[in-house]
Chains A and B, each alone.
Chain A
Amino acid sequence: AQSVDQPDAHVTLSEGASLELRCSYSYSAAPYLFWYVQYPGQSLQFLLKYITGDTVVKGTKGFEAEFRKSNSSFNLKKSPAHWSDSAKYFCALEGGGSNAKLTFGKGTKLSVKS
């Protein structure tokens, strides 16, 4: 079985601060990991993914994420944060099954105060 945990339901920080959203996963083999962002009332937008290779992956909107096999984490980072980053962020894992099923975490709602 595969699972994704985003332990922080809400994160609030000030504009200009560094943000780090936590994501941990459980999967018996090499995972494929994704981050998506959902702005209020909108669909999901792809930010970045880790497949293999470099453990730090860069994505759109100035985001990057670091894959750490040692503690099964894939945290999303950005510095500095901007008020327009306020949204809900989802971490997802794809385990390589025939259905390419994405297993999503419950999401972290980020509020950046200007």
Chain B
Amino acid sequence: AQTIHQWPVAEIKAVGSPLSLGCTIKGKSSPNLYWYWQATGGTLQQLFYSITVGQVESVVQLNLSASRPKDDQFILSTEKLLLSHSGFYLCAWSLGRGASDTQYFGPGTRLLVL
């Protein structure tokens, strides 16, 4: 069975500080990976997606970047946090590129920027 792990569980960071969030998928080779962001009490917005190692596509510009250094790892980062970066960051995976593939979400990382 596939498992998805995100770290850290929660972060409190200062404006202007750097950030790195991680996501690891176990039990599935070459998954499609996604980063989503959810503002507090709000809906979800896709930020990035990746279909293979070393390839990441940006969907929304939020002064964030993403990388996929390994087949099972997806990293979200920024050098300078903004207040607007606060929220819930969710990593998701799917089996392939088919549009009907179900995306399964990780436990998420809560970020508060002060």
The judgment on whether A and B are partners is yes
Footprint of A on B, CB under 8 Å? 32, 34, 36, 42-46, 49, 57, 59, 90, 94, 97-108
CA distance A51 to B98 in the complex (A): 11
Whether A101 pairs with B43 at a CB distance below 8 angstroms is no
Interface size band for A = 20 to 34
Smallest beta-carbon distance B50→chain A, Å: 10
Residues of A within 8 A of B57 (CB): 98-99
Smallest beta-carbon distance A57→chain B, Å: 12
Whether A46 pairs with B102 at a CB distance below 8 angstroms is yes
Partner of A102, one of B44, B97, B107: B44
CA distance A98 to B107 in the complex (A): 25
Footprint of B on A, CB under 8 Å? 32, 34, 36, 42-46, 49, 51, 90, 94-102, 104-107
Task: Other than A44-B105, A96-B99, give 19 A-B pairs with Cβ distance below 8 A.
Answer: A32-B99, A43-B90, A43-B105, A43-B106, A44-B44, A44-B90, A45-B105, A46-B102, A46-B104, A46-B105, A94-B100, A95-B99, A97-B99, A99-B46, A100-B32, A100-B97, A100-B98, A101-B46, A102-B46
Whether A104 pairs with B43 at a CB distance below 8 angstroms is yes
CA distance A49 to B104 in the complex (A): 12
Smallest beta-carbon distance A58→chain B, Å: 15
Partner of A98, one of B45, B46, B97, B100: B97
